[in-house]
Amino acid sequence: MAATGYALLIVLMPLAGFVVLGLAGRHHLKRSAGWLATALMSVSAAAALLLAWHYFFVQNALGRSLEPAEVFRFRWLSFSPSLYVDMGMHLDGLSVMMLVLVSTVSLLVHLYSVEYLRSEERYTSYFAFLQLFTFSMLGLVVSVNLFQIYFFWELVGVSSYLLIGFHYERPSAVSAAKKAFVVTRFADFGFLIGILIVGFSSTSFDLNTLFQTNCHVDAAREELFLGMSAITWGTLLMFMGGAGKSAMFPLHIWLPDAMEGPTPVSALIHAATMVVAGVFLVARLFPLYEVAWLTADVVTVIGLTSSLLAAIIACTQTDIKRVLAYSTMSQIGLMLFGLGLAAQGASREAGYVGSQFHLFTHGFFKALLFLAAGVVIHRVHSNEVSDMGGLRRTLPLTHLVFLIACLAISGIPPLSGFFSKETILLAAASHPFWYGLALLVSALTAFYMFRLYFLTFWNKPALPKSEPELPTASERLAYGFPLVVLAVATAVNGFIPFGLFVAPDGRPYPVHASAAAWLPPVGAALCGIAVAAWGYARASERPQELARRFGAFYSVAYRKFYIDELYAYITRRIIFGKVGRSAAWTDRQVVDGAVNQAGWLIQQWSLLMKCWQSGRLQGYAFWFFVGAGLLAVVLLLYSPN
Amino acid sequence: MNLHLLILIPLLTAVTIALWGRGQRAALIATAGAVVQLGLSVLLYLTFTAYRQHHAGEAFVFEYRHVWYGPLQIAYHLGVDGISVAMVMLTAIVVLAGVLMSWEVSYMPREFHTLLTLLGAGAYGVFLSLDAFTLFFFLELAVLPKYLLIGIWGSGKKEYCARKLVLMLMLGSALVLVGLLGMYFGGPRSFSIPDIASSRLAPEVQQWVFPLLFTGFGIFTALFPFHTWVPDGHSAAPTAGSMFLAGISMKLGGYGCLRTATHLMPDAAQQYAPTIIVLGCIAILYGSLATLMQKDIKYLNAYSSISHCGFVVLGIGLLTQTALHGAVLQMVSHGLMTALFFAVIGIVYERTHTRQLREMGGLMQAMPFAVTALFLAGLCSLGLPGLSGFVAEATVFVGGWQQPDLLSRTAVVIACSSIVVTAVYILRAIGQVAMGPLRGLVSPHPVSWAERLAVLLLLGGIFLMGLWPEWLVQLIQGSGPAGALPDGLTAAPVEAF
Amino acid sequence: MDVLNFLLITASGLFFIGVYGFLTRRNLLTMLISAELMLNGAALNLVAFNRYRWPEELDGLFLAVFIVAIAAAEAALLIAIVLRLYRNTRSVDVSDITELKH
């Protein structure tokens, strides 16, 4: 009962906030919207922590197998007696972990936004959208049904659209929001078909049924189409949805543009929570991905490719938020890489636990990075690193927390990123090639993060030290508190025995790694940091020289491998220019032309017949008699006798 | 429940307006009539569900039959099942919203409201009739006043558009009439739908009558390639006319296909299913692609209606229980959504005096209420969960996937792909109308309470269906043989080409 | 050639003279007279058939009387119409009247 209460409290608080703030419009509640939303979120976050405590320590004993629980369920839509959509709340290690992550980060971002968006005219709407997002994300992670996942998946997408396009008077924000929605929608098209395939081949959309009845999964292994089984098709297409939401190559193009949204939004949605939905999806449907032989490979390869690609691009970008966006993409790639390895079966536990652990720690340190970047942007009024530099004196607290987060994401012990990334690499240890690439990603991560760090906080000073970092009390509370809390979480989260909470099948998996396994990643990270320090700690010609050394490769990476241009070509030129235009033309000219032609023909016919209607009485009489005569002749000729 | 009231009240309202509705009084009387009608339809829903709990087996309830033309046994025969109840409620909501949107009509308001109410009476008659000929009679009643509505109160090339619309719909009616006569003489010499259903027409008769009826009703529901009246008709019609046209008129076709064609001629339905599926798919994809290029917001919504009504055709063609229910859900959902769209377009047009997307911009700042409603309608159109469109489309998809053959499943995939195209054009339109710098506002008078009420009414319907679809699904699922597949047609696979 | 044939030929002669007059004369009053000729031709037919085929019946005679009465009424009506036309157009020439097509 307690669990039900907590769980409902977690999701209903943001929903209530959305309804109240949404109905209030943009003029009412203007002052108090931020605090109201924050208060609701703090209830939600507290309930999430209580629920976690209750679930892990009261309902289950730590170190033993975790029993999934369902606290709530109702019939939302029935297609037929056996196929239905239930809405409910499913609790297991994964969903409880996600609840805690989403609600805490969301709370901190709410608090931060209270101050950050103070001067916005649509302050109330902003918080309404933020609450909608939080509600949808929370609903997503506790799903009991494939269609429930899809339901909240789309709601998450639309709230992301609303928040990216929050500054809708800027055309760039509008087009970024549109791009994000359309790209993820394209991915969701695959997701929806994947749901249909999986649902039908296993005769249920219900997750419990799906996992419990392995016989259906067997049936799903029969060939469906093009030599691949139903389960392979289904999981592949669902992964397409996940890849879209998680900005994986080749569907990643929306994420950098999404940085048009307000910075706290980037921290919450495009770093900590929504973009990891793809990882969550694969983890949630892990039993299916395990039995689909091809999909696991695809997940692994896509994950690692995106990770590497994003890391390379991140090294060349100069917009602080875009660097962070590519870094997010790179880290999510690593998570999916770990999950893919786990689904392949060789390092099942390590890969799964590692990726979820990384998801958890990444959520905190990436949110921290974004919020810290927000403070910086607020101060210098620019996203470009060339406008920054030497800020460590002006913004000491921000500098400190940014450094902690950078060390964590680079994987330097004893910060949290080290432990989680280490576990993923542990899973890859048996594949030398992949392990090598993952190490490369690790080194690149350290390089670009510290490049960013040095360019922002060291290098040549861009601002004179004028005023204190956080002048007012409310800024100290709204900015300082989230930064400090996230920094502490970033520092200590690594010590959580994560494998005991979240593991495949709920069976605890304590991670053990030898010192020998620790050395390569840490070494790679230190190399990356050293190169970054060499190039960027002071203003020098070295970066240009480095770029010149790479020549064409640098410029291609700087242009993001021309993937955006390729998409633009396909959509603008082909879909709009050719297909759309010809469809519209055909409709007006050919189909409607045929209708008008029919009308025209009838008109011609009537013109022809018009001369008969002369208005002359005797003409009419003449034709009348002709007709009567003809009738008489016919009757005479064809009379019965 | 006395079904006569549902037809009588709109007729009486029309007469009252014609006699006493001078000036502003016309709108007042029309609104009163529509409110009563909405109340009655809710009452119908309540009594219907209560009645059916005790009498589960009956196909149609509250039947009343009176033969008004003996020689041909044509009867005034009323009765409802779950589908009719759903459609009656839709009609009541859309008509009330349309009347509320027409409070500002200043040119000949008496005639306007009389005609609008008459259209409503025709629609109720169609949804309540169990006699095919009486159904046809009401169908005509729901067509002819449109000519005047568009021709007198329309805009743009209104005479051309009115003529085109009425002529194409009349062509549909003609095909329907021939089909009905074929059914009468080829079958049990009766127009009564339950009689024909129980006697099961001979396959040879079905084979040639079915295409007539399906095409005839199909023209009403924008069946490809007979859809070109939709863009022209909708764009020229006055706001309430567009709302009625897209919200109800196109549903008359879908309902007719379901109630007469598919329900009475299951063998032919099966035989022609591949053709119907292909036509539905063409309408969905081709309609949405053509929408991409539209520059006029009314044209945009009209083309998107073609695409959405494709789902109705597709659902009927897929011939599984779930897909048929999906088709009905799509009718209700599209009716609400598109009426909302046209209502908001009307509100915006009043204040911008343009319908060109290029000439608008940033209206979110100037009229947040209308633009928020437009945004919600757009989200519903692109199938956002929580709004009605998703429920309907998901049901069609799931129902289609139940057919194991390749054609049906390909059709579902194609239909699914339209959700991406829909997202593109909806967001493009919203981006141009609502966002960016403010442009195009001419007369910034506030949105009146009647308009607000109309929008909220439609939004309420959309949310009610989108957030809690189960009640509607139960209503439709439990309905009689037209909701259930006829015997011998239990989701058998459709033969591919 | 018996009497019946003679009567029928006479009747058809009357009728076709009427038709010819109706089609060729421009004067409305002449056309009216031609129409009367046609009516009378038909009436003569009825009377002849009645007399020589079903002498015990009276239907044909009644019908003929009826036609006479109708013709009288019709003539009255048509003359009224012609008068109105004349008032409006100052002409009873049928070729001047082409408003029928409107």
Q: For the segment B373-405, what is each residue's pLDDT rounded down to a tens digit?
A: 999 999 999 889 989 999 999 999 998 888 888
Measure CB to CB from residue A618 to each of C23, C99, C102 and give the nearest one.
Answer: C23
Q: What is the model's pLDDT at position A239? A: 92
Mean pLDDT of B124-130: 93
| pLDDT 10s digits, B211-254 | 999 999 999 998 888 888 888 888 888 988 899 988 999 999 99
What's the start-to-end Cα distance of chain B, in Å? 47
Q: Which residues of A touch B459 (CB under 8 A)?
A: none
Please report the pLDDT score of residue A47 as a whole number.
92
DSSP state of B361: B
pLDDT of residue A215: 43
Q: Where are the domains of chain C?
A: 3-96
Identify the top-confidence range among A70-84, B334-348, B436-450: B334-348
At B463, is the pLDDT very low, low, confident or very high (cuts 50, 70, 90)? Answer: very high
Min distance B78 CA to chain A CA atoms (Å): 29
Which segment, A215-219, A471-475, B247-251, is predicted with the most confidence on average? B247-251
The mean pLDDT value for B330-338 works out to 94
Decide if A606 touches C, using CB distance below 8 A.
no
Instruction: Classify B330 as helix, strand or coil.
Output: helix
Model confidence pLDDT, tens digit, residues C51-74: 888 888 888 899 999 999 999 999
Question: Which chain A residues contact residue B386 at CB under 8 A?
Answer: 151, 155
Chain A positions touching C22 (Cβ under 8 A) are 618, 621
The two structure tokens encoding residue B171: 């062509």
Three-class SS state of B79: strand
Tokens of B167: 């002529």
Confidence grade of residue B305 (pLDDT, cut at 50, 70, 90): very high
Nearest chain B alpha carbon to A187: B420
Given A614, A615, A621, which is nearest C23 (Cβ)? Answer: A621
Interface partners of chain C (CB pairs < 8 Å, 3 or more) are A
Pick the range with the lowest mean pLDDT from A328-332, A586-590, C10-14: A586-590
User: Closest Cα partner for A480 from A111, A104, A93, A51?
Assistant: A111
Has residue B487 got a pLDDT over 60? no
All chains having 3 or more CB pairs closer than 8 angstroms to chain A: B, C
Query: How far are the Cα atoms of A248, A524, A533, B378 from residue A427, in angstroms, in the given order?
Result: 21, 17, 30, 46
Q: Any CB–CB contact under 8 A between A254 and chain B? A: no
Do C23 and A617 make contact, defined as CB atoms within 8 angstroms? no
Q: Which of A613, A616, A622 is nearest residue C95 as measured by Cβ atoms?
A: A616
**Closest by Cβ to B401, choosing from A78, A182, A200:** A200
pLDDT at B497: 30
Closest Cβ opposite residue A189 in set B286, B420, B437: B420
CB contact under 8 A, A583 and B286: yes
Residue A78: its chain B contacts at CB < 8 A?
470, 473-474, 477
Residue B79 in this model has a pLDDT that exceeds 70:
yes
pLDDT for B108 equals 87
Contacts of A187 in chain B (CB under 8 A): none
Given a cut of 90, whether residue B473 has pLDDT beyond it is no
**A514 vs B66, residue with greater confidence:** B66
Is B286 close to A587, i.e. CB distance below 8 A?
Answer: yes
Residue pairs between chains A and B whose CB atoms are closer than 8 Å: 132
> Which of B396, B401, B425, B485 to probe the A interface (max A CBs under 10 A)?
B401
- Residue A64's pLDDT is 78
Chains near B (3 or more Cβ pairs under 8 Å)? A
* Contact state of C98 with A621 under an 8 Å Cβ cutoff: no
Average pLDDT, chain A: 85
Predicted TM-score (pTM) of the model is 0.87
Amino acid at B139: L
**Dihedral sign, Cα of residue A625, residue A627, residue A630, residue A634:** negative
CB-based contact A201:A262 (threshold 8 Å): no
Number of neighbours of residue A630 by Cβ within 10 angstroms:
10
Q: Domain segments of chain B: what residues?
A: 2-482
A614 touches chain C (CB under 8 A): yes
Choose, out of C38, C97, C100, the residue to mutate when testing the contact with A (most A CBs < 10 Å). Answer: C100
Q: Which fold has domain C3-96?
A: Helix Hairpins (1.10.287)
CA dist B232 and B230 (Å) reads 6
Average pLDDT over residues B480-496: 41
- Does A159 score more than 80 pLDDT? yes
**pLDDT over 90 (residue B474):** no
> C3-13 burial string, b = 16+ CB within 10 Å, else e?
eeeebbeebee
- Does C94 reach chain A within 8 Å, measured CB to CB? yes
3-state helix, strand, coil in chain A (%, to 5): 75, 5, 20
Instruction: Give the angle A290-A291-A297 at the CA atoms, nearest 5°.
Output: 60
A578 and B CB contact within 8 Å: no
Does residue A607 sit at the C interface (CB-CB below 8 Å)?
no
Taking each helix axis from N to C terminus, what angle separates B388-401 and B368-381, rounded to the nearest 10 degrees? 0
Percentage with pLDDT > 90 across chain A: 28
Q: Which residues pair with A85 in a beta bridge?
A: A77
Q: Which of A551-555, A588-592, B428-432 has the highest mean pLDDT?
A: B428-432
Cα–Cα dist A224/A232, whole Å: 9
C with B: 3 or more CB pairs under 8 Å?
Answer: no
Q: What is the mean pLDDT of residues A551-557?
A: 78
Task: Return the pLDDT at A224.
Answer: 64
Nearest-CA residue of chain C relative to A610?
Answer: C101
Q: What is the pLDDT of residues A17-55, one digit of tens each?
A: 999 888 876 677 777 888 889 999 999 999 999 999 888
A521: nearest Cα among A426, A406, A403, A452: A426
Query: Which segment of A485-494, A602-611, A613-622, B42-51 scores lowest on mean pLDDT?
Result: A613-622
Cβ of B292 and A580 within 8 Å?
yes
Query: What's the confidence (pLDDT) of residue A100?
Result: 93
Question: Quick one: pLDDT band at residue A287, thresholds 50, 70, 90?
Answer: confident
Tell me if B469 and A175 make a contact (CB, 8 A cut-off). no
Torsion sign across C-alpha atoms B217, B222, B228, B232: positive
Which one of A607, A616, A626 makes the best mutation probe of the C interface by having the most chain C beta carbons within 10 Å?
A616
Mean pLDDT of A62-86: 83
The candidate with the shortest Cα–Cα distance to A267, out of A372, A174, A166, A153, is A372
pLDDT-derived band at B158, boundaries 50, 70, 90? confident
Distance from CA of B65 to the nearest CA of A (A): 34
pLDDT beyond 70 at B488: no
Determine the residue of chain C that is closest to A613 in CA distance. C101
